[in-house]
């Protein structure tokens, strides 16, 4: 009868591949790269491919929101909801609000419940937020009297707004730098958002005679299902291969943590970020000199620790825009055979 190996020697009797995988994990090597498979695509009736203004948004139901350029009224292109089931499209038109018949839209945000917040300027140039219900009907207008100009907006699940703009100071003087603040549902400033102190970046000129104020400037962001808003720098400000800082901002205006999402390798740059189910999905795109981007990698990170959990490679031919992410899968905006917009879904096992 064969005697069992002593406990101290059983490690060496494990299969070689398992030992190698465990050793790689213990050494902190990169996670494996998993190919994504598109399982279904839904055509959106009456919607055809065209220039998209700014980033896309998503709600908890998997519906996708975007603004598409329209030649007859480019300053006020409506927000359009592309339904997950491919049925009726919903439009959110700023022109429906009194005083905005000739206004200009800067951007928009979508609450997790599907309400749409359009950041706009009225005919006289005063910034405000035009709010719509889920069915596309006008709800209310929130004045932003403390702002001279506004550029970006996000909305917390508790109803507060995160807005970036130029503030009016005493004597009607306007600040030169855009800053970001939390506003309540009536448009009153609650808190200016400041970044946690960080060491000066390599190569950055030292400021003489004054302290550098670490103010957060909202560039891109999205609401998380944990009640916070996730803010990240746009791809144009990041070098290929550099980690993407993602700031988690609470409704109180506090940056409660910073996550630095490392790209798959030096050739990739962050393009879009989404959050859901306690995880963050970052869409990295390969950058090539003298040619278009070719490969897309979706990296999933733990939203609490920032540790990478998986890399997913997007198959060639899938729409370039990441629309939604949940732990169940990814949604993309694609193009059908006749040029219609489609929503494509790639499930995660």
pTM above 0.85, yes or no: no
The answer to whether 68 touches 79, Cβ cutoff 8 Å, is: no
Q: Of 19-33, 259-273, 295-309, which gets the smallest average pLDDT?
A: 19-33
Report d(CA 76, CA 20) in Å as an integer: 57
Is the per-residue pLDDT at 334 higher than 70? yes
Residue 49 confidence (pLDDT) = 65
Q: How confident is the model at residue 234 (pLDDT cuts 50, 70, 90)?
A: low
* pLDDT at residue 110, rounded to an integer: 94
Query: What CA–CA distance (Å, rounded) separates 278 from 307?
Result: 12
Q: List, edge to edge, every strand of the sheet that includes 64-67.
A: 57-58, 64-67, 79-82, 90-92
CA dist., res. 286 & res. 153, Å (int) = 28
Percent of the chain, pLDDT > 90?
A: 31
Determine the pLDDT at residue 83: 87
Instruction: Return d(Cα 271, Cα 177) in angstroms, integer.
Output: 25
Assigned CATH class of 31-199+213-347: mainly beta
The mean-pLDDT minimum among 29-38, 197-206, 282-291 falls in 197-206
Mean pLDDT, range 208-223, rounded to an integer: 57
pLDDT one-digit tens code per residue, 104-160: 888 899 998 899 999 999 877 889 999 999 999 999 999 998 888 888 899 999 999
What is the mean predicted confidence (pLDDT) over 264-274? Answer: 87
Distance of alpha carbon 124 from alpha carbon 172, whole angstroms: 16
What integer best gives the mean pLDDT of the chain?
Answer: 79
Asked whether the predicted pLDDT for residue 306 surpasses 80, the reply is yes
Q: Would you call 24 helix, strand, or coil by DSSP?
A: helix
pLDDT (0 to 100) of residue 5: 47
pLDDT of residue 127: 92
Predicted pLDDT of residue 50: 66
Look at residue 235 in the predicted model and tell me its pLDDT.
57
> Would you call 5 exposed, middle or buried from its count of C-beta atoms within 10 A (0-12, 13-18, 19+)?
exposed
- Is the distance from CB of 136 to CB of 91 less than 8 angstroms? yes
What Cα–Cα distance (Å) separates residue 202 from each residue in 133, 144, 198, 199, 236?
47, 38, 12, 9, 18
pLDDT at 72: 77
The reported pLDDT for the residue numbered 166 is 85
Question: Looking at residues 241-254, what average pLDDT do you find?
Answer: 90
Over residues 45-99, the pLDDT tens digits come to 777 666 676 778 888 888 899 887 777 777 778 899 988 887 888 999 998 899 8
């Amino acid at each position: 009868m064969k005697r069992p190996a002593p406990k101290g020697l059983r490690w060496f009797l494990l299969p070689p591949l398992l030992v190698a995988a465990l050793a790689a994990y213990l050494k902190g090597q990169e996670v494996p790269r998993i190919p994504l498979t598109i399982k279904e695509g839904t055509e959106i009736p009456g919607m055809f491919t065209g220039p998209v203004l700014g980033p896309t948004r998503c709600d908890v139901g998997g519906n996708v929101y975007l603004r598409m350029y329209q030649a007859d009224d480019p300053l006020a292109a409506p927000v359009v909801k592309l339904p997950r089931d491919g049925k009726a499209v919903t439009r959110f038109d700023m022109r429906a609000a009194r005083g905005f018949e000739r206004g200009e839209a800067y951007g928009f945000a979508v609450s997790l419940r599907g309400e749409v917040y359009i950041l706009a300027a009225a005919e006289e140039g005063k910034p405000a937020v035009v709010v719509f219900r889920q069915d596309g009907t006008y709800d209310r207008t929130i004045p932003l009297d403390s702002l001279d100009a506004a550029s970006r907006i996000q909305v917390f699940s508790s109803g507060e707004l995160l807005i970036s703009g130029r503030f009016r100071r005493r004597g009607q003087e306007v600040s030169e730098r855009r800053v970001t603040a939390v506003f309540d549902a009536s448009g009153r400033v609650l808190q200016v958002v400041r970044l946690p102190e960080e060491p000066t970046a390599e190569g950055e000129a030292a400021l003489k005679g004054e302290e550098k104020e670490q103010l957060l400037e909202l560039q891109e962001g999205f609401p998380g299902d944990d009640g916070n808003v996730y803010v990240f720098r746009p791809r144009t400000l990041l070098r290929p291969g550099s980690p993407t800082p993602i700031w988690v901002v609470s409704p109180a205006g506090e940056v409660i943590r910073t996550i630095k999402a490392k790209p798959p390798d030096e050739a990739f740059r962050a393009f879009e970020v989404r959050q859901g189910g306690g995880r963050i999905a970052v869409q990295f795109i390969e950058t090539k000199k003298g040619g278009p981007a070719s490969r897309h990698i979706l990296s999933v990170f733990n939203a609490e620790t920032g540790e990478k959990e998986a890399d997913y490679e997007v198959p060639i031919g899938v729409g370039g825009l990441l629309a939604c992410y949940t732990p169940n899968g990814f949604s993309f905006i694609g193009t059908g055979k006749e040029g219609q917009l489609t929503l494509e879904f790639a499930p995660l096992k």
